[in-house]
Structure 1
Amino acid sequence: MKLSNKTWDELEIGQRASLNRTATLEDFYVFANASGNMNPLHLPKHDGDGDGDPEAIAPAMWVGSLVSSVLGNLLPGPGTVYLGQQLHFHNRVHAGDPLTISVEVVEKRDGGEVLLDTCVEIAGGVKVASGVAEVRAPTKKLVFDDVEAPHLMLERHKHFDALLERAGGGAPMPVAVAAPEKGDALAGPVIAAKAGLIRPILVGDPDAIAAAAKAEGLDISGMEIVPAPHHPEAAEAAVDLVREGRAQALMKGHLHTDDLMHAVLRKENGLRAGRRLSHVFVMDVPGREKLLFVTDAAINIAPDLATKKDIVQNAIDLALALGIEEPKVGLLSAVETVTPSIPSTLDAAILSKMADRGQITGGLVDGPLAMDNAVDLGAAKTKGIAGSVAGRADILVAPNMEAGNMVAKELTFLARAEAGGIVVGAACPIILTSRADDEKARLASCAVAVLMARGTK
């Protein structure tokens, strides 16, 4: 940002300056952290006055602080020292309100002091705040060509909030939960049931399930329990519930993934649907303007070309079900050039051409792409990579499970992303949650499964 000032000698009575700013929810969160003011009236999702509706009213002093941005940036500008501020608040500001903040010089005093009328208005001329600022104006002309503050990233998962809202708009989906016999495995379906997303059918040892519920203080009253003494039998019975139409999705409880997938992939009355199964992490990365999909991070260890084709198509179909129009698929490798000594670049080039020929449908597919130029438009432009996918990828396809798992876990634990994961390519969504998942991640996995099931009907 380029800044310059008006010195005390240059200031004249009647000089004005203004700027425009739209209030956002992020502003209120940042102000709460910076000021320590945790008044629920100012925090989204909280009903701060007990009337039954969240208010998300802008803190009055946040509104007042906008005046300082005009004084410090424009008039008088850099070098201005605040001496005092009188403010009177007339109306309240809410997220989304467009604001105009203006100041006007009304008096010059000895010693470099200046009085300015200050005003904040909502579009349409509705006055929000007004008063008088007393400042010491700069005496030396200053020009700054490049002023920057450290970048702030707000750890907020608004995309998952939107998913949960969409998924909660219908009857709870019946889900067969295989062997939820430990507290962490039982908590997910109980939380999702409480949120109105699913209707769990608990399949496993009734005594173990009851003990887990008691130990964790979980209410499972009213939930159907299908007895199955051992984990393989629980997996088989859960799959049978889907085959019989009593459940529309499958959820892994406290059993090995191999036991569950053995039942899913059985030759007779399994859940095969003509494609290889694959896992997709649906990720809400703070600061990113849309969801990010990472695949395959949990099922296919070293997929060949045919398997990668199914992995790509599975991820596209899921993204479409979640409302992503023409998803952009970035096929990852270490480099963005086709290099015979790096097999993943050859696979990526072939998959891209397969998409061009209609063998993969519903999305735009490009690769090989390195991670930077798959997700960052600036990096793609720097390297001269053109196209609709580079720098804009919605789906990241890893060359193998190790790479996919590392990408997803790095985003989760370093970039503070939330991740919901499901297995796709079967006759129904298969929900896989981790013991490390928090409540939001468990709910998101269920929401993704609900929306996918609706989208495939």
Structure 2
Amino acid sequence: MILENRLFDALKIGDTASATRLCTTDDLYIFAAATGNHNPMNLPGLDGDGDGQAEALVPTAFAASLVAALLGTQLPGPGIVTLSQEYAFHTRAQAGDELVTTVTVVGLDSGVVTLTAQVLREIDKALILTGVVRVQAPVRHIRLDGSKLPGLTVRRHRHFEALLALAEPLPALRTAVICPENPASLGGAILAMKHTIITPILVGHAGKIAKAAMDLGVDLTGIEVIDMPTHQAAANCAVALVHELRADAVMKGHLHTDDMLRPMVARDKGLRIGRRLTHIFVMDVPGVDYPLLVTDAAINIAPDLATKVDIVQNAIDLAISIGIAHPRVGVLSATETVNPAIPSSIDAALLSKMAERGQITGGFVDGPLAMDNAVSMAAARTKGITSEVAGRAEVLVVPGIDAGNMLAKQLAYISHAEAAGLVMGARVPVILNSRSDSSMARLASCAVAAIHHARMKALAE
């Protein structure tokens, strides 16, 4: 966008300029962060006046800033100095409204420009703001590129918010929570219960669970607690609850993953249903327009081709459950070409061909793809890769646990993603989070499990 100003001698009475701007939810967050004004009337999802409804009103200062933006970019343009401004505010806009800002020159005097200003709502022409502004006209001609500004990404997790909205109306998922013996693991289960996503059955050392509840200030009255003295006994009990049809899901608490999974993969009394157990991160990455699934980053260390088939199929099935109708699966390697010296590139090509032949169903599978051309259309075009997946992969299949764990944690700690974790391939969803995960990650994991369980149950009926 090229910005060019107009000097005082080039202006005349009646000159006018207009701009249209869609006010988004992200605008409200950015404005609050930049100004420090956290008035709940202006923040999405909050009820600022106690009427039971979230307002998300556009701040009056934001409407005034639209006038300032028009003055500083178009009329008179770059180089102005604001001398005075007087506004009247008539009604309030909300996030989602398209706002039209107009300024008109009404006075010219010794380098000072007087303009009327108005902001109105496009859909019904309702006036938001009217006023008068006086500015010092630019003293030299300026023409510059206005697009060279740092980009902004709002660190909110709208994909998880959408998943929670889908999960909350569903019947609460009866969930055996294994060893919720510290505040983080117990808190995640209690939070999911408060959102009506799960009905927890707490399985573990009763004394430690009670201590965690006390630390959280949580009353466990009405919640079933099954006292099990050891982690292994608790994991065995959770599996038994599934077989007894008392639990529809299993959730990891404060224990090691191996201890939790061992009874689930037991040959006679485990929970496997024919496929390998595989772990999937459902990641809400700020700035990415869709949830990003990463698999397998937690269970299968160095999967062979047969295991990767299950990894891909499980991920496709989960992606469909959370609303991705035809998941695009990028099978990652160090290169986008098949190289006999890189085994992961060969596996990726074979998985792609197996999907073409119907051995993997429900989604588009392409590989090998390097990370850049899996998620960036520009990178895919530069390297001449044309496919349904390249540049817009929604599922990333990694070569092994090292790469998967690094990728997921880079997204979490550098890109500020939140990650829900689920194990597929068992009789019921297995909610698997890291012991260091936030309450939001645990809540989102429960939501993903509830949504997937509901779809599987509907298909079986």
TM-score, shorter chain, exceeding 0.5: yes
Per the alignment, in what secondary structure is the counterpart of residue 12 of structure 1?
Answer: coil
Q: Which residue of 2 aligns with 1:31?
A: 31
Alignment match, 1:307? 307
* 1:349-407 Cα deviation digits (max 9, x unpaired): 11011111111111111111111111111111122211111110101111000100000
1:186 alignment counterpart: 186
d(CA) in 1 for partners of 2:139, 2:230:
82
Alignment partners' CA distance in 1, 2:54 and 2:429: 34
Structure 1 distance, partners of 2:50, 2:215, is: 34
Deviations 1:293-340, CA, capped at 9 Å, x for gaps: 111000000000110010000000000000111011111111111111
Residue 435 of structure 1 aligns with which residue?
Answer: 435
Give the number of aligned pairs. 456
More off after superposition, 345-354 vs 196-205:
196-205
What letter matches 1:129 in structure 2?
L
Aligned position for 1:347: 347
Rounded Cα–Cα distance in structure 1 between residues aligned with 2:184 and 2:18: 55
Residue aligned with 2:416, SS: coil
Aligned pairs for 1:166-181 within 5 A: 166-181=166-181
Corresponding position of 1:451: 451
Q: Alpha-carbon deviations, 1:51-74, whole Å to 9, x = none? A: 121111111011100001111111
Which has the higher mean CA deviation after the structures are superposed, 292-301 or 363-372? 363-372
User: Is 284-293 or 175-184 further displaced after alignment?
Assistant: 175-184
Cα 1:280–1:113, aligned 2, differ >3 Å: closer, same or farther? same
Q: CA deviation at 1:219?
A: 2.1
User: 5+ unaligned residues in a row in structure 2: which ranges?
Assistant: none
CA distance in 2, matches of 1:48, 1:205: 42
1:420 match: 420
1:377 maps to which residue?
Answer: 377
2:324 aligned residue: 324
Whole-angstrom CA distance in 1 between matches of 2:345 and 2:29: 43
Residue 113 of structure 2 corresponds to 114
Q: Which amino acid aligns with 2:378?
A: G
Contact 1:15–1:104, Cα closer than 8 Å, also in 2: yes
The within-5 A match list for 1:354-365 is 354-365=354-365
In 2, are the aligned partners of 1:204 and 1:226 still within 8 Å (CA)?
A: yes
CA distance in 2 between counterparts of 1:24 and 1:213 reads 39
**8 A Cα contact 2:184 2:439, kept in partner:** no
CA RMSD of aligned residues (A): 1.3
CA contact (8 A) 1:9 1:139 kept: no
Partner of 1:247: 247
Listed one character per residue, the Cα deviations across residues 264-302 of structure 1 (whole Å, up to 9, x for unaligned) are 111223211111110001111111111111110000000
Task: Provide Cα deviations, 1:105-139, integer angstroms capped at 9, x if missing partner.
Answer: 111111x1111111100013211101111112224
For structure 1, which segment, 227-236 or 73-82, has the greater mean C-alpha deviation from structure 2 after superposition? Answer: 227-236
**Contact 2:254–2:435 (CA under 8 A) maintained in structure 1:** no
The SS at the match of 2:10 is coil
Cα distance, 1:211–1:37 mapped onto 2, change above 3 Å: closer
| 3-state DSSP of counterpart to 1:101 | strand
| Structure 1 residue 245, shift from structure 2 partner | 1.4
2:82 corresponds in structure 1 to 82
TM-score (norm 1): 0.97
Q: Distance in 2 between matches of 1:190 and 1:83?
A: 55
| Partner-residue secondary structure (3-state), 2:184 | helix
SS at match of 1:251: strand
Secondary structure at the counterpart of residue 95 of structure 1:
coil
- The letter of the residue matching 1:348 is A
Shift of 1:170: 2.3
Q: How does 1:138-217 map to 2 (within 5 A)?
A: 138-145=138-145, 147-217=147-217
Which whole-Å CA distance do the structure 1 matches of 2:186 and 2:125 have between them?
55
Distance 1:253 1:79 in 2: 59
Query: What secondary structure does 1:56 align onto?
Result: coil
Identity of aligned residues (%): 53
Q: Report deviation, 1:168.
A: 0.5
Q: Secondary structure at the match of 2:300?
A: coil
* Contact 1:282–1:294 (Cα < 8 Å) also in 2: yes
Give the whole-Å Cα distance in 1 for the aligned partners of 2:346 and 2:114: 69
* Partners of 1:67 and 1:234 in 2: CA distance: 63
Matching of residues 218-257 of structure 1 within 5 Å: 218-257=218-257
Q: Look up the match of 2:298.
A: 298
What does residue 11 of structure 1 align with? 11
Structure 2 distance, partners of 1:133, 1:7, is 17
Partner of residue 336, structure 1: 336
Secondary structure of residue in 2 paired with 1:66: helix
Asked if the contact 1:179/1:254 (under 8 Å) is kept, the reply is yes
The whole-number CA distance in structure 2 between the counterparts of 1:435 and 1:254 is 6
SS of structure 2 residue aligned to 1:316: helix
Task: Tell me the residue number matched to 1:59.
Answer: 59
1:436 is displaced (CA, Å) by: 1.4
Deviation at 1:437, TM superposition (A): 1.2
Q: Is the 8 A contact 1:298 1:401 kept in 2?
A: yes
In 2, Cα distance between the equivalents of 1:237 and 1:243?
A: 10
Partner residue in 1 for 2:99: 99
Helix, strand or coil at the partner of 1:9: helix
Look up the SS of the partner of 1:456 in the other structure.
helix
Report the alpha carbon displacement of residue 146 of structure 1 after superposing the two structures with TM: 5.3
Supply the AA of the counterpart residue of 1:352: S
